[in-house]
Amino acid sequence: MMIKNNVKKQCIQELSVLEAIVEEDQEDINYYFQKGEYLNRRLSLFYQLSGENEVNQSIDNLIQLIKEWKENLYKLKTIYNKKTKDKICLYSFEEVNEDRDPYLAFSTINHNLACMLCNSKKYELALKYFNESIELKTHLNPYSGGIYLGSLWKITKDKKLLVDKIKEQKRLYEKDPYYWKRVIELKELVSDKEFLTMLQSE
């Protein structure tokens, strides 16, 4: 227990340092992305530590951040487009700290929030942000594509809708037809004959 408490204390201290660095320059074009990364890490930490109040606070803060970010996206994109783009060496310090495309940065944080919401069993909210990610043309990977389906199933319990969504994710399904079977929320469907028949039909 002592080790766990020490680790928890160290992680919280590191988060405090990260927050201070992020808040140093709120005019930076990367500010919203950096703040989103900080809040996602905070959310992930307290989820693992079962800190329900801190998890809910982090979710509320992320939702508010995304709302403000969306309101400023056009302005940020305009600033980004006017900046000179220098050639930067891969994996260099400059690459890590370069200005990020506001739309791509936004879609990344939005996508990560959706994943964490599903892990926190806040399926309705997760579905909302997954749908926004899809509208932003974010490419879901096997993990996020799977838990998107898990959130959808938990909210709708609609087998046909789930089959349709799996078939829409053709790229994922063709690469790994079993990716959805690894999702806890979908375990009850792994041996569901009706569902499997629907999935295998054209």
For residue 86, the 8-state DSSP code is -
| pTM over cut 0.85 | no
Give domain limits for the chain: 1-138, 140-202
Using CA atoms, how far residue 185 sits from 66, 90, 152, 175, in Å, is 26, 39, 9, 21
3-state secondary structure of 85: coil
Helices (H), 23-101: 31-48, 52-82, 93-96
The share of the chain scoring above pLDDT 90, in percent, equals 55
How many other C-beta atoms can be found within 10 angstroms of the C-beta atom of residue 5? Answer: 9
Look at residue 92 and tell me whether its pLDDT is greater than 80.
no
**Percent of the chain scored above 70 by pLDDT?**
91
Helical (H) or strand (E) element with 173: helix 170-175
Span 12-62, pLDDT tens digits:
888 888 889 889 888 888 899 999 999 999 998 888 887 789 889 999 999
